[in-house]
Structure 1
Amino acid sequence: MDPMEQARHHMVAEQLASRDIQDARVLDAMRRVPRHAFVPAEREHEAYLDRPVPIAEGQTISQPYIVALTAQALQIGPDARVLEIGAGSGYAAAVLAELAREVVTVERHPLLAAEAAARLASLRYGNIWVVTGDGTRGYPERAPYDAIAVTASGPRVPKALLHQLAPGGRMVIPVGPDEHQQELVLVTRGSEDGVFSEQNLGAVRFVPLVGEDGWARADGR
């Protein structure tokens, strides 16, 4: 086992399995995806630490625990179609792609989108589509989605994402009035009546969700 693989297995054991991540498919996905391939080269040594890592355009690659918590809460089946908002470096999309039939990930920064697409292609993820655009509008062309993962915090759950969530589907999104007050929320759509319900998964801190139905400016104001 090479040092990076060893670090990855240690991450799963110490940061995930020892906490509340018990979904075997999620743990296996986290073991398989080479997180160090998704961080800047000069930060490769930080890839398997229990914290987010800065990437280009003022964005971050989320803490491993948050990626795993989101994936576990979404309860993604092998035939699921998943929408991710905020591709970043492509890491979370890769984890989701290990669990689902297909993943569409929307990134508003063209540079990040292009780099993520190239990186995912080099790692042979053929079931991920990287789209450049306003994530708060989702991607209706391939809706509805069985699961939606949002990796930036907005002031509310965007209506477009609610409309694109399939009956019985689940969405995880950080919501809060500013960068200091955010909660990770699980939104579930009833399979029969289509009614939405919410569950608070805990306090978090994410970069701002910028767009038509999010924050108007990158600084969150």
Structure 2
Amino acid sequence: MDPAVLREDMVDSLEHESKGCLEDEEVSLAMRAVEREPFVDDAPYADRTGERHGTRVLAPSTAARLLDALAPKPDDRALVVGAGVGYTVAVIAEIVGATDTHAIDINRQLVYEARSNLSKAGYDEVLVDCRDGAEGLAAYAPYDCILLEAGAVEPPRALLEQLAPDGRLVMPLGAGTQTLSVVSKGGEIERHGTVAFQPMLVDGESTHEIERNRTRREDREFARKHAESRPGWEQDWIDWDDARW
């Protein structure tokens, strides 16, 4: 069957009330325009997840939920954290333009994969770089919209700082239970139902050791939050036994 017809059928099903995961008109038009073949080898228009280089390839319905919450506009500047194979990056680039779309991934192999796939799809002007997602890409900030395609206990500070004043960060937020959340620069959160994403990785972590990664990430974040909340008499740098009054 003609791929264009398959794309139309795919988007029609995402907009249908039975799935109800796509309402934004700009996203709908972009998903009808962007070919999935450069990004997904097997049954590209089937609504199912895949795997590539240790990362999950999002099902069209999951990608639609993220993009619908992000709601990119033609005059936006966008950043995707967790480029993966590059499909969601391409949809955003179709809306805002390739030169105003930037993407990063901590996995260098995925960076090469995303660059190659985007080039095949006609979006080779998108900048894709290998970076720690929690640090964002400050050189091209501010961004009107940032899409984080990995779970985190709280919104990364650097990403909020890189938002434009009216910008929005879309991410899976939470530890045990994640919610698809739209976060403003000021920290206000709007929730759009539950999701399940792998945790955001840091340098030295592997996509194949998810449970260890989750523990390391959450332990580090909770330890920092606890340290910041301790009163002075609990701080490690004060040796109260040696103190002189």
Report the structure number with the largest CA radius of gyration: 2
Residues 60-111 of structure 1 show CA distances to partners (whole Å, capped at 9, x for unaligned) of: 1212122222222223221211010001111010011011131110011111
Q: Choose which of 144, 153, 156 in structure 1 pairs with 2:154.
A: 156
TM-score (normalizing by structure 1): 0.86
Assess if the C-alpha contact under 8 Å between 2:38 and 2:121 holds in 1: no
CA root-mean-square deviation: 1.9
C-alpha spacing 1:20/1:38, structure 2 compared with 1 (3 Å): closer
Q: Report what 1:79 is aligned to.
A: 75
Counterpart residue identity of residue 184, structure 2: T
CA distance in 1, matches of 2:95, 2:123: 12
Assess if the C-alpha contact under 8 Å between 1:97 and 1:127 holds in 2: no
Assess if the C-alpha contact under 8 Å between 1:16 and 1:65 holds in 2: no
Query: After the TM superposition, which parts of structure 1 deviate over 6 Å for at least 4 consecutive aligned residues?
Result: none
Residues 102-137 of structure 1 show CA distances to partners (whole Å, capped at 9, x for unaligned) of: 111001111110121122122221441101111111
CA distance in 2, matches of 1:158, 1:174: 12
CA distance in 2, matches of 1:83, 1:175: 18
Q: Choose which of 47, 51, 55 in structure 2 pairs with 1:54.
A: 51
Structure 1: where are the runs of 5+ without partners? 190-194
Report which of the two has the higher share of strand. 1
Assess if the C-alpha contact under 8 Å between 1:154 and 1:174 holds in 2: yes
CA distance in 1, matches of 2:109, 2:21: 35
Q: Report what 1:34 is aligned to.
A: 35
CA distance in 1, matches of 2:121, 2:205: 34
Query: Alignment partner of 1:153: what SS?
Result: coil
C-alpha spacing 1:121/1:211, structure 2 compared with 1 (3 Å): same
TM-score (normalizing by structure 2): 0.78
Mapped pair 1:203 → 2:194: yes
CA distance in 1, matches of 2:156, 2:191: 17
Counterpart residue identity of residue 34, structure 2: V
Q: Report what 2:25 is aligned to.
A: 24
CA distance in 2, matches of 1:199, 1:141: 28
C-alpha spacing 1:154/1:170, structure 2 compared with 1 (3 Å): same
Assess if the C-alpha contact under 8 Å between 2:147 and 2:171 holds in 1: yes
CA distance in 1, matches of 2:149, 2:47: 17
Q: Report what 1:121 is aligned to.
A: 119
Counterpart residue identity of residue 5, structure 1: A
Structure 2: where are the runs of 5+ without partners? 216-245
